[in-house]
Amino acid sequence: MKTLVVEKDGSLTFHEVNMPRFDRRQALVKMIACGMCGTDVKFIHKAFKGFPPSVYPLMLGHEGVGEVIEVGSEVTSFKKGDKVILPFVDADEENIPGLSSGYGALSEYGVVSDLRAYAPGEAPESAYAQTVLDEDIDPVDAVMIVTFREVLSSIRYFGIEPSSSVAVFGCGPVGITFIKFLRLLGVKGIVACDIAPDKLVQAGEFGADFTVNSSDPDYAEQIRAFYPDGLDFVIDAAGVPSITTQAMPLIKDRGAVLCYGVPAQESINIDFSRADYNWRVVFQQMPRKREEGLAHAQVMDWIRSGSLHLRDFISDYFTFEESVEAYGKLLDRKIKKKGIIRF
């Protein structure tokens, strides 16, 4: 099969490799589509925590959907023809030598694990979120469900309530998903912050109560005019450590800065001279797959009710052969919402 690889110098190339192996508790999947996301960008920049330069080259991609084509002898949760979310290609030095895995969903084939085939506590973490997709859901657009589940599970982990006041910094695909879901969950006080005027317009369309350009010198005063006592939460939806300092004059006493995603560097310097006395910084760098799996039902309920539309979050489609060009556009910020690679 072909797989998209980040080389040691950060460039992207295709490699021809063996198809992934699967065992009696797993299924082989032919990939249908994979989303492009900030995680991929961190891998390309060799800035993803836990993946030092020594592990490169690595197979890229994690927001995948595929079709089951073979099942192991003990598999009961999947059958041939099922569309499944989150197939991966694990590192396998014997079968795919010389490549490590940045989850590997940008490959022509992947593997899912059947949670029910494992003894309690033995299943890989990914099995908790490798879910069969309903037949009437477009499997290409369904890559958005990966982002949806990650964001919803993070909102639950952060403890945001309908009565909370929240600012979201960064209004890309993740940021607008946070805004949309906060609105669906009944949050009334939502502020959107970004440096790009077009993204602020987009944030308003997705449910922000008002928008602020975070590059304005008086951004804090603008927000405090509406929330004189401060905000309960500020969400960093961009993975930019400096946002934590920007949030300091915004949060109320015992408020929290919620950092979503893996930042490009593994340290932050916080100037809290403008903050209240008591505050928290909470990181969610890697949503837990068990919690992500538990978020699936609510996401599907919103889709079924018409409250959530997959294509509202998607701006670009590319073929697998166009992957290198597609990531060039993503790195140049020419993809406005979610970009999807189709196989």
What pLDDT is attached to residue 93? Answer: 97
Characterize the bridge pairing of strands 58-59 and 100-101. Answer: parallel
What pLDDT is attached to residue 26? Answer: 98
To which residue do tokens 């800065």 refer? 257
> pLDDT for 108-131, tens place per residue?
999 999 999 999 999 999 999 999
To which residue do tokens 């060039």 refer? 328
Query: What are the tokens at 270?
Result: 């916080």
Q: What percent of the chain has pLDDT over 90?
A: 95
Taking CA atoms, 165 is separated from 190, 203, 322, in Å, by: 6, 16, 42
Does 264 have pLDDT greater than 80? no
To which residue do tokens 């405090």 refer? 224
Q: What is the mean pLDDT of residues 60-84?
A: 98
User: Are the C-beta atoms of 68 and 79 separated by less than 8 Å?
Assistant: yes
Please identify, in words, the CATH class of the domain defined by 147-284.
Answer: alpha beta
Ramachandran area for residue 186 (φ above 0: left; ψ -120 to 50: alpha; else beta): left
What pLDDT is attached to residue 44? Answer: 97
Does 309 have pLDDT greater than 90? yes
> pLDDT for 324-342, tens place per residue?
999 999 999 999 999 999 9
Domain boundaries in the chain? 2-139+311-342, 147-284
pTM reported for the whole predicted model: 0.96
User: Are the C-beta atoms of 5 and 57 separated by less than 8 Å?
Assistant: yes
Distance CA 266, CA 264 (A): 7
How confident is residue 248, by pLDDT bands cut at 50, 70 and 90? very high
**CATH, range 2-139+311-342:** 3.90.180.10
> Edge-to-edge strand order for the sheet containing 100-101?
12-16, 2-6, 58-59, 100-101
Does 83 have pLDDT greater than 90? yes
**Cα(first)–Cα(last) distance of the chain, in Å?**
12
How confident is residue 266, by pLDDT bands cut at 50, 70 and 90? confident
Three-class SS state of 200: helix
> pLDDT for 189-230, tens place per residue?
899 999 999 999 999 999 999 999 999 999 999 999 999 999
How confident is residue 283, by pLDDT bands cut at 50, 70 and 90? very high
Distance CA 171, CA 276 (A): 26
Q: Which of 71-80, 267-276, 317-326 has the lowest mean pLDDT?
A: 267-276
